[in-house]
Amino acid sequence: MQLSTSKLKALRGERSWSQEVLAKSTGLSLRTIQRIESEGKASAESTLALSSAFEVTPGDLISTQAAIDVNFTGRRVMQGALLLIAIFSTLISLFFLASDALSYFDLPTLVFTYTLTYMLTALSFGFDGLARSITGLRYLFAKELLGGKAAVFLAKLYGCQIRFCYTSAVLIFLIGSIAMLRQASETQQVTDLFLLLESSAPVVVLPFLYAVILCECLIRPLKIKLECEDISTS
């Protein structure tokens, strides 16, 4: 866990304890106390010992630093990468089973859906928030994550981004539907009407597919990870 070094020193100072006295009160070694006060990193057992000695809850010792503290390991990164590959491989397999995979790809629709999502993110959280939402995707591969208020903020940002993505899909659907209806009203031949539906219908539906892929396969799992990690340390 990432503890607040300033809180630890303040609590020790309030009691006029030296590091040696704190070590005896907690049953920890002096070297462990010095390391925790210097780096802030402590095991769950050490955190419980410190909170008991200071008569506070473990959550009172948790750091509320601006930066999110993470622990990346080669094994965890590999596991995350393999899981993502498995998820998207399953989706591609489903595409091939249902129809030609190219039927599910429309570059302009894909670009409009995601671009509008990130533009709304920038409008709400600024370009700094937009950058954090993109770089924060790396936390999917973290073994341990602790960020306090920073993690809470990022989870809230991703929650809004999910809504922005589905909103973008709805807007594209409505605009495409209106255009399709206007063209249909000008079409006199039944065969031309079917051709119009065949060419236009997928375009107005695809934004929802792209929204689901981005939100439910990437952003929502990351949002849940941030929320659960933050709760587990409080």
Strands 144-146 and 69-71: antiparallel
The CATH number of the domain where 27 resides is what?
1.10.260.40
- One domain, residues 107 and 86: yes
Residues 14-56: pLDDT tens digits? Answer: 999 999 999 999 999 999 999 888 877 788 888 899 999 998 8
- One domain, residues 128 and 157: yes
- One domain, residues 118 and 183: yes
Q: Which of 61, 86, 103 is the last residue of a domain?
A: 61
- One domain, residues 85 and 40: no
State pTM to two decimals: 0.67
Is the pLDDT reported for residue 178 higher than 90?
Answer: no
What gap in Å lies between CA 183 and CA 169, rounded to an integer?
21
Q: What is the mean pLDDT of residues 202-223?
A: 93
- One domain, residues 53 and 103: no
- One domain, residues 98 and 18: no
When mean pLDDT is compared across 158-162, 195-199, 218-222, the lowest value belongs to: 195-199
Residues 84-126: pLDDT tens digits? Answer: 999 989 988 888 888 777 788 889 999 999 999 999 999 999 9
Beta bridge partners, 2, equal 41
Number of CB atoms found within 10 A of residue 177's CB? 14
pLDDT at 69: 62
- One domain, residues 217 and 108: yes
- One domain, residues 126 and 198: yes
- One domain, residues 225 and 161: yes
Count of domains forming the chain: 2
- One domain, residues 100 and 147: yes
Q: Which of 31, 61, 91 is the last residue of a domain?
A: 61
* Domain assignment of residue 36, given as a range: 5-61
- One domain, residues 55 and 79: no
- Band (pLDDT 50/70/90 cuts) for residue 193 is low
Closest CA to 231 of 152, 150, 141: 152
Is the pLDDT reported for residue 140 higher than 60?
Answer: yes
- One domain, residues 45 and 155: no
> Over the chain, what HEC string results?
CEECHHHHHHHHHHCCCCHHHHHHHHCCCHHHHHHHHHHCECCHHHHHHHHHHHCCCHHHHECCCCCCEEECCHHHHHHHHHHHHHHHHHHHHHHHHHCCHHHHCCHHHHHHHHHHHHHHHHHHHHHHHHHHHHHHHHHHHCCEEECCHHHHHHHHHHHHHHHHHHHHHHHHHHHHHHHHHHHHHHCCCHHHHHHHHHHHHHHHHHHHHHHHHHHHHHHHHHHHHHHHHHHHCC
